[in-house]
Chains A and B, each alone.
Chain A
Amino acid sequence: MSTTYRTCPRSGLQFELQAERLMLANAVAAVVFLLVGGILAVGVVLTRWPAVHWLSADAFYMVLTAHGIDMLIFWIIFFEMAVLYFCSSTLLRCRIATPRMAWLGFALMLIGAVTNNIAVFRGSSSVMMTSYVPMMAEPAFYLGLILFAVGALIGCFVFLGTLVVAKREKTYQGSIPLVTFGAVTATIIAVFTITSGAIILIPTFLMSVGIVKEVDPLVYRTIWWAFGHSSQQINVAAHISIWYAIAAICFGAKPMSERVSRGAFLLYILFLQLASAHHLLADPGMSTEWKVVNTSYFMYFAVLASMIHGLTIPGAIEVAQREKGYTKGLFEWLRKAPWGNPVFSGMFISLIGFGFLGGISGVMMGTEQLNMLIHNTIYVPGHFHATVVVGTTLSFMALTYFLIPVLFKREMINPGLAKLQPYMFGLSMYFFCLVMMGAGTLGVARRHWDMTMGGSPLAYEFPGAAYLMMGLVGIAGIAAILGGAIYIYITVGSLLWGKKLEPGVQTTQTIPLPKTPMPNVVIQSHGSSGFAAPGTFALAMVFLVSFVLYYFINWKYLSQVWGLS
């Protein structure tokens, strides 16, 4: 298939025609699902806000099921496909491998996503995203997910194939860039994830049509979470790659040490998939040893990797800023960062929130014994909104602001509003997560329609503080949804009626990446001789102290509850 390449005059990036169209299609599909999921979120938060308690029980459970799947799976994975094609074809300046297969993958994903949504909105598949057997959904529910997964798997192999093309056609020299390396990590985890999904969803589908008699509920939970949690680890690898990319784009930041950053990605590949275990800590069946080893991602090596990325990304920014002369005190580099640029502010709000809120709470709840304090309470969605919404979604939003002129070739409409958006969305999401975790600590259940328990004579009377927290969840949720709406307005608006920008020079041949010049000796050696990023280190110590305090407060709390053995 003949193709053309264009070099974007604004970024210097080179886009291959087929890859560009695929990125565009996947990104648009992603935003459509974000829109649907966002509208559904209104129903969720306005029902869980006790004073409003909007939807009926059956509508609420249906809306919650759809919200979870549309956001966690469809919005994120469509966007990730665009990211994968960007990290391979664009960053390596090569044609995309087998574009027809890539379109087939996209079509399968789209058909699967629509099929699944139809099944859910017909009302008889309100089984939540986890669809624990023996509760059954319509066959179309599982079939949709399976088709989507097959499509995504094809996308993963197209990505890997594109790496081969780049290597063979020598479009770059040396090793692949760090960001692409991160994308490879995401892809490897994705292949594992999707395979696990297939292993458990195919028999469940066959059970729903009556071919298989029974899928064991505990086996289902074990394998489903190898899919369900690992798919969130794809997001982690993807959005951390995006953080590195944005640090490079906004600051020209280079990794403090390629070895450290790549090593940390390698730890993800080795250990992240063990994480499914922490969903089973309160389950019968699994041995204590199994729980302890797996929930700690084998001795917390994946946590170590995230803590490393959490330092090296702001560290790289600090080093780049200090080189530009922002050397006063510990934090001039940060004060003088482009806070008005939504690409940067979105990324940085995402990074801080992911670490402080998502990371610390995640390790707490992933501790074998501490898990009992919060298992299935609304603390859990509090945690994962900090990881998946503040972490992944906000990073994707930040990247979109970069892509609007570069990939979509449009001038952003309403840049003033775009400046505000990451703050509005990110900070209200921070607050949303905090009050959810607060309510969870008071015992409020997740996936629960009515805190008053319908006046059941045995009902638990939740304390007033729990009602207050859930009210705040409602308010913060609405604020975050408005922030999300602004993102969709800006993205879709720019695509539709933003001023068209010049696409740049077209060529029929790719222009290979020149060899990256060696940095001068001073830059190369500053790393090992000094304390290159003292401000970042100070921030990291603040993080560590919060982490340690919060961790041990929970042990203190645990030590006071009923004895269990």
Chain B
Amino acid sequence: MSAILPPAERLWWKHPLDRVEGTWIVIAFVWCMIMFAMMVGWHIYGKQNLSTETYKTTPELFGKKAQDVVDKYTVRKETDREIPVVHPPPGSDVYLVARLWDWWPIIELEKDQTYKLHLTSMDYNHGFSLQPVNINIQVVPGYEHVIKMTPNQAGTFSIVCNEFCGIGHANMAGRIYVK
């Protein structure tokens, strides 16, 4: 009789389907399939798909590669901490180090050019949150994540850390310029 009592019909699985329920199940099912198709379809037609290219790495290995790029392409230094600003050629590999508690170095990119951004953390998990674009990517220690990125607007962009990484987490900021 009610949901807190055993069903009256022993063969409850033969209970007829109400038309309201039947109609709704069909609608909901179709909608679920559309949503599923959107994810797959966006990989074919969409321009924003997160790459899954990943390599195991270590802080030493990644630090060295990042340093190489900094040595080669630094164009100036900024802030009183003398953070290098790297301007790599379009299409090249860019390394961004996440560590307690900054993003290093500052990167300068050109609009509508594609770069391969290599991301890793030297210590804890960090969160790459590009503002005000609002692209958010998890940064996991030990894994080098390679993402092809094509900035479509010029300006100054900030990187906020949005994965908790200890007491200095809230001050962890980085920057990307797009010319």
The answer to the question of A254 belonging to the interface, with a C-beta cut-off of 8 Å to chain B, is yes
Whether A375 contacts B171 in the complex (CB less than 8 A), given A287-B52, A367-B38, comes out as no
Asked whether A248 lies within 8 Å of B2 as measured between CB atoms, the reply is yes
The answer to whether B165 and A369 touch across the interface, beta carbons within 8 angstroms, is no
Whether A417 sits at the interface, judged by CB under 8 Å, is no
- A73–B6 CA distance with the chains assembled, in angstroms: 31
Identify which of A448, A462, A537 contacts B24 (C-beta below 8 A): A537
Contacts of B18 in A (CB 8 A): 256-257, 315, 527-528, 532-533
- A61 contacts which chain B residues (CB < 8 A)? 164, 167, 169
Which B106-121 residues sit within 8 Å CB-CB of chain A?
106, 114, 119
Q: Are A445 and B160 in contact (CB under 8 A)?
A: yes
A458 pairs with B46, CB closer than 8 A: no
Partner of B162, one of A261, A448, A561: A448
* A527–B32 touching, CB < 8 Å: no
Q: How far is the CB of A410 from chain B (nearest CB, A)?
A: 22
Bound CA–CA A257/B167 (angstroms): 54
Closest B residue to A462 by beta carbon equals B131
Which of B24, B52, B137 counts the most chain A CB atoms within 10 A?
Answer: B24
Contacts of A454 in B (CB 8 A): 170-171
Does A308 contact B43, Cβ atoms closer than 8 Å?
no
- A39–B120 Cα distance when bound, in Å, is 37
Asked if A559 CB lies within 8 Å of chain B CBs, one says yes
Stretch at the interface among A19-27, A293-301, A468-476: A293-301
Contact A259 B173 (CB under 8 A): no
**Chain B 112-134 against A: per-residue CB contact (8 Å), 1 yes, 0 no?**
00100001000111010111111
Tell me if A459 is interfacial: C-beta within 8 Å of chain B.
yes
Q: Which of A315, A448, A453, A562 has the most CB of B within 10 A?
A: A562
Contact B125 A516 (CB under 8 A): no
Residue-wise, chain B 74-115 has the 8 Å CB interface mask toward A (1 for contact) of: 000011110100000000000000000011001000000010
Query: Across the interface, which residues of B come within 8 angstroms of A284, CB to CB?
Result: 52, 54, 119, 138, 140, 143-145
A563 touches B150 (CB 8 A): yes
B135 touching A562, Cβ below 8 Å: yes
Q: Is the CB of B12 within 8 A of A259?
A: yes
B48 in complex: contacting residue of A315, A369, A376, CB < 8 Å: A369
Contact B152 A563 (CB under 8 A): yes
> Known interface pairs A248-B4, A443-B131, A564-B148. Does A58 touch B125 (Cβ–Cβ under 8 Å)?
no
Residues of A with C-beta under 8 A to B46: 369, 558-559
Q: Is A332 an interface residue (CB 8 A)?
A: no
A311 adjacent to B32 (CB under 8 Å): no
Chain A residues bordering chain B, tally (CB within 8 A) = 119
Which residue of chain A is the closest to B35 with respect to CB atoms?
A300
- Residues in A whose Cβ lies below 8 Å from that of B52: 284-288, 291
The answer to whether B39 touches A368, judged by C-beta atoms less than 8 angstroms apart, is: yes
In the complex where A377-B136, A458-B79 touch, is A367 in contact with B39 (Cβ < 8 A)? yes
A143 within 8 A of B: no
Q: Are B17 and A177 in contact (CB under 8 A)?
A: no
A367 lies within 8 A of B17 (CB) = no
State how many angstroms separate the Cβ of A237 from the closest Cβ of chain B. 14
Compute how far the CA of A254 lies from the CA of B1 in the bound complex, rounded to whole angstroms.
6
Instruction: Tell me the bound Cα distance from A135 to B119 in angstroms.
Output: 19
Does the CB pair A456–B173 fall under 8 Å? yes
The segment from A77-85, A167-175, A427-435 that touches chain B is: A167-175
The answer, among B6, B15, B20, B161, for a CB contact under 8 Å with A531, is B20
Once the chains bind, are A303 and B4 in contact (CB under 8 Å)? no
Contact B5 A177 (CB under 8 A): yes
Check A258 against B49 for contact (C-beta < 8 Å): no
B3 and A248 form a contact (CB under 8 A) = yes
Alpha-carbon gap, A446 to B136, bound state (A): 12
Please state if B125 and A217 are interface contacts (CB–CB under 8 Å). Answer: yes
Closest A residue to B18 using CB positions: A527
Residues of A within 8 A of B2 (CB): 248, 252-254
Q: Is the interface of B mostly helix, strand, loop or mixed?
A: mixed
Near B by CB (< 8 A), chain A positions 306-345 give 307-308, 311-312, 315-316
Q: Are A285 and B136 in contact (CB under 8 A)?
A: no
Q: Is the CB of A244 closer than 8 A to any CB of chain B?
A: yes
B6 pairs with A516, CB closer than 8 A: yes
A543 to chain B, nearest CB (A): 10
Structural contact, B16 and A527, CB atoms closer than 8 A: yes
How distant is B116 from chain A, measured CB to nearest CB, in Å?
Answer: 10
- Tell me the B16-60 residues at the A interface (CB within 8 Å): 16-21, 23-25, 27-29, 31-33, 35-36, 38-40, 42-43, 46-52, 54
Contact B48 A563 (CB under 8 A): yes
B61 within 8 A of A: no
Q: Is the CB of A128 within 8 A of B132?
A: no
With A307-B24, A563-B114 in contact, is A254–B3 under 8 Å at CB? yes
Q: Which residues of A contact B54 (CB under 8 A)?
A: 284-285
Q: Which of A259, A286, A300 contacts B13 (CB 8 A)?
A: A259
Chain A residues, CB < 8 A from B171: 450, 453-454, 456, 459
Q: Does A71 contact B (CB under 8 A)?
A: no
Q: Nearest chain-A residue to B112 (Cβ)?
A: A563
Residue A229 lies at the interface, judged by CB distance under 8 Å to chain B: no
Binary interface encoding of chain A residues 270-292 relative to chain B, with 1 for a CB under 8 A from any of its CBs, else 0: 00000000001111111110011
Instruction: Say yes or no: is A372 at the interface (Cβ < 8 Å to chain B).
Output: yes
Residue B69 is within 8 A (CB to CB) of chain A in the complex: no
Counting CB contacts under 8 A, is A205 at the interface? Answer: no
Interface flag for A210 (CB, 8 Å): no
By a CB distance below 8 angstroms, the chain B residues around A553 are none
The residue of chain A having its C-beta at the shortest distance from the C-beta of B14 within the complex is A259
Chain A 486-527 against B: per-residue CB contact (8 Å), 1 yes, 0 no?
A: 000000000000000000000000000101111100000101
Interface positions of B from 142 to 179, Cβ below 8 Å from A: 142-145, 147-153, 158-167, 169-175
Answer whether A300 and B50 are a contact pair too, CB < 8 Å, given A254-B3, A441-B134, A458-B175.
Answer: no
Q: A296-B39, A376-B162 are in contact. List 18 more A-B contacts (CB 8 A).
A: A61-B164, A135-B125, A217-B141, A244-B3, A315-B21, A367-B35, A375-B138, A445-B127, A447-B164, A457-B79, A457-B81, A461-B158, A516-B1, A544-B27, A547-B31, A562-B48, A562-B130, A563-B148
28 cross-chain CB contacts under 8 A? A57-B170, A58-B167, A135-B166, A216-B142, A217-B143, A244-B3, A252-B2, A255-B3, A257-B15, A260-B17, A280-B138, A285-B52, A299-B32, A376-B129, A377-B134, A443-B131, A448-B169, A458-B173, A458-B175, A516-B1, A516-B5, A516-B6, A517-B8, A532-B19, A544-B28, A555-B42, A563-B114, A563-B149
Chain B residues within 8 Å of A, Cβ to Cβ? 1-10, 12-21, 23-25, 27-29, 31-33, 35-36, 38-40, 42-43, 46-52, 54, 78-81, 83, 102-103, 106, 114, 119, 123-125, 127, 129-138, 140-145, 147-153, 158-167, 169-175
A-B pairs, top 4 by smallest CB distance, nearest first, are A460-B158, A563-B150, A284-B145, A300-B32
